[in-house]
């Protein structure tokens, strides 16, 4: 059975409440343009409620996701967001281990692993991000870095849980830089990730897991990426802030 393509928009720390609602409404109203592709919007935590309401009002199938979460369900963790809180706001997805969380906020594979397990336990689908820096790629360490991140971030997951995870390969050197991995470079790493998933479970399970590409994805390069056999969608940053661009990318994966 073919893997259903998934395109998620990571709005990062952008927009205000009104613009967030407007963008969500525009994507929802036109989601039929990307029929057959699963769409997910991940606004800032403060706007999850507003975006969720806009999606519900449009009676769309567009999913809602958080950009991060804590691994505990509650407690004295000032400023954090718990898995049940995301669920309460209608989220079905959560981005974990994004390179900005890893590089700017010191998140380790162990932290990402704890969050991934907590997300699954809560009934959320984690989008687990992995990827190498420019220095690591130029040093020929891409495979080693990605292997360590995949194994560490997914350690201890059962095959059944692994099937519920979405992986996002995001070469750090391509995020927000305008640079993009060639389709061949992206496919090589996606194939490596699928092989690693097979070693963690089985080739059958690995064949069911969706692996997104992220890193300066735009409408004009999405089709070439979508043509690769192991690229199952995109985790979109800047281009997700415009409905035309986001939907243009999503349409490439139909």
Task: Report residue 112 as tokens.
Answer: 């990402």
Q: Higher confidence at residue 215 or residue 143?
A: 143
**Active-site choice (38, 98, 100, 132):** 98
pLDDT at res. 181: 85
Give which of 49, 98, 40, 47 is closest to 69, Cα–Cα.
98
Q: Is 98 a catalytic residue?
A: yes
Q: Does the structure show a pLDDT above 80 at 110?
A: yes
Average pLDDT (26-53) is 98
pLDDT at res. 213: 96
pLDDT at res. 176: 76
Q: How many CB atoms lie within 10 A of CB 170?
A: 27
Average pLDDT (26-40) is 98
The DSSP-derived string for 56-115 is: HHTT---EEEES---SSSSSS-TT---HHHHHHTT--EEEES-HHHHHHH---HHHHHHH
Confidence band for 59, pLDDT divided at 50, 70 and 90: very high
Q: Is 170 a catalytic residue?
A: yes
pLDDT at res. 178: 77
pLDDT at res. 1: 78
**Active-site choice (38, 107, 132, 170):** 170
Q: What pLDDT digit, counting tens, does each position of 63-98 carry?
A: 999 999 999 999 999 999 999 999 999 999 999 999
The DSSP-derived string for 228-242 is: STT--EEEESGGGGS
């Amino acid at each position: 059975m073919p893997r259903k393509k998934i395109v998620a928009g990571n709005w990062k720390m952008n927009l205000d409440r009104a613009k967030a609602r407007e963008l969500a409404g525009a994507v929802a109203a036109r989601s039929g343009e990307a029929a057959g592709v699963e769409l997910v919007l991940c606004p800032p935590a403060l706007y999850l409620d507003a975006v969720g309401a806009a999606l519900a009002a449009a009676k769309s199938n567009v999913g809602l996701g958080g950009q991060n979460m804590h691994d505990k369900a509650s407690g004295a963790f000032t400023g954090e967001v718990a898995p049940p809180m995301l669920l309460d706001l209608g989220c079905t997805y959560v981005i974990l281990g994004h390179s900005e969380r890893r590089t700017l906020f010191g998140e380790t594979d162990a932290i990402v692993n704890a969050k991934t397990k907590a997300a699954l336990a809560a009934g959320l689908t984690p989008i687990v991000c992995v990827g190498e820096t420019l220095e690591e790629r130029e040093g020929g360490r891409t495979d080693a870095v990605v292997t360590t991140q995949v194994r560490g971030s997914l350690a201890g997951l059962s095959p059944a849980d692994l099937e519920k995870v979405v992986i996002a390969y995001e070469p750090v050197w391509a995020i927000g830089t305008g640079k993009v991995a060639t389709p061949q470079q992206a496919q090589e790493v996606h194939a490596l990730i699928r092989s690693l998933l097979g070693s963690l479970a089985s080739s059958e399970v690995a064949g069911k897991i969706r692996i997104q590409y992220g890193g300066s994805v735009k409408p004009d390069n999405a089709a070439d990426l979508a043509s690769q056999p192991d690229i199952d969608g995109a985790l979109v940053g800047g281009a997700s802030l415009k409905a035309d661009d986001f939907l243009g990318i999503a349409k490439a994966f139909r």
